[in-house]
Structure formats: C-alpha cells, structure tokens
Amino acid sequence: MLYQVLKYLLLGPLLRLVFRPRIEGLEHIPEEGAAIIAGNHLSFADHFVMPAIVPRRVTFLAKAEYFTGPGLKGRLTAAFFRGVGQIPVDRSGGRASRAALSSGLSVLRKGHLLGIYPEGTRSHDGRLYKGRTGVASMAVTAGVPVVPCAMIGTFEAQPTGRRLPRAMRITIRFGAPLDFSRYAGMEDERFILRAVTDEIMYEILALSGQEYVDRYAGEAKAEAQAQARAQGRRGQTKGTGTGKGKGKGAGKGRAA
C-alpha cells in the first residue's frame, strides 16, 4: 500500500517534476513474469526515479546500512526503504553474499521484477565500473531475462555527497532483454558468470555512453578516498611547516 501511495501520489509526481525524465525503450520491460532490470548506479536518486516510471513494481536489493541507522531517523529511513520495495543486503561478502542472492531469487520466483546495480555501489566519478557476478548468477539460476538500463544525468543532478538534487532533465534508457537460457545449469561455472556479467555491462555501456573502467567501483572509490586523505594530511603538514618558517623569520627581524 505504501509503495502505491509513494509511487502515484507523493514521490512519483515530485520526481517527475524535478527531473522531467525522458524515457526510452520502456516497451522492453515485460508486462508480466519475472525479469531483472540491471542498471548503472550514479546517484542516490537512482533508487527512486527508475521505479517511479516503470509501470510494474520493482524490488531493489539495497545496502543494509539504509535499514540499520540509529534513532528515530534511522527507523523512519528503514520504514521508507521497505515501503518503496527495497530489500536489505549485507555487502560484506561470503555467506552474506549468498543470502543476498537468495533474497533476489525469492523475488524472481514470485514472478516479480528485480532491480540490481551490478557495480555494487555508486560510481564516485561518473564512470562505469566492472560488474559483480551476482546478477549473472541470479539470471542463470532463475532462467529470467535481464533488461539493461542506463541512468543518464543523475550523477550531475545528485552526485555522491549532495543532499538535495538539482532540478534538471535526465534520461532513463532501457535496452532489449538479454536471454541467457543457453547457460541453464551452469550457474556454478565462474567463467560463465563472468562472461554473462560482462555482456550485461557492455549493454549498459552502450546505452549510457559512459567511460568504462575495468575494475570494481568499491576498490576505486576506496583508493580515491585514501588519496584524498593523504593529500589532506600533506596539505596540513605543509601549512604547519610554512607557519613555523614565518615565525622564525619574524623573530629574526625583530632581533635586528
């Protein structure tokens, strides 16, 4: 009920007003039956804009941190994300990753649409990063088509760190469904899963026109953050050293 209220009465109309989305290829979304919508991930707004324009309900796998915040704000945030059809996913790997796949497969076995970002996290610089193979594992295991999706303009509207989005027009582009039924029974073959994932990412790339980076987004983001911290420390050290130099020079001048 909350999903319908937000989509058609509250959040959906607001998002259409702010972003004035241009929709391309919506006919590629199946009218019924299970399917995966796999897209690039540029902005926090992606979680809401794309589901708002798809006629059917889309259930997303979302990071567990959205559901575990402290206090009243945390509880309200968790309630909101559940209300808009998000499922919490622990991204720590190992057993947690298997639980995430199980959650996604449960959605697909009910004949619903599952939304997923194969990159695993938002792009910190607007480029498209290497996909993780969870999307391939679910597609092959469930035997469902994958509809590639490209969000264009959401990075400029609301990049990482920006609380409120800019009012600007964006584009949401869907590609033809990808059929991986030829790999039925091969969901445990890691080379097959890598090939399927790369094919999905290639289609997203063709739709989005982004620059592609053959490494995982999480690793690149962590490296960029580490470099920024290191530069900040060097800047502080340099500033302190300059201050000392000025102090010594000023003292000598007074003594003369």
- Kindly list the structural domains of the chain, giving each domain's residue range(s) and its CATH number in brackets, ordered by start: 1-218 (3.40.1130.10)
Contact 100, 134 (CB under 8 A): yes
What angle separates helix 11-19 from helix 46-53, to the nearest 10 degrees?
Answer: 100
End-to-end, the C-alpha distance of the chain in Å comes to 82
* Pair of tokens at residue 246: 């000025």
Tell me how far apart the alpha carbons of residues 129 and 213 are, in angstroms, rounded to a whole number: 5
Give buried/exposed letters for 192-205 (b at 16+ CB in 10 A, else e): bbebbbbbbbebbb
Tell me how far apart the alpha carbons of residues 142 and 59 are, in angstroms, rounded to a whole number: 16
Tell me how far apart the alpha carbons of residues 26 and 176 are, in angstroms, rounded to a whole number: 10
Residues 6+ apart with CB under 8 A from 158: 43, 44, 45, 164, 165, 166
* pLDDT at residue 254 in the model: 43
* pLDDT at residue 92 in the model: 64
**pTM across the whole model:** 0.84
**How many C-beta neighbours within 10 Å does residue 97 have?**
17
pLDDT along the chain (256 residues), means of 10: 78 90 97 97 90 91 78 78 75 70 93 94 94 95 98 93 90 98 95 98 98 94 88 76 49 42
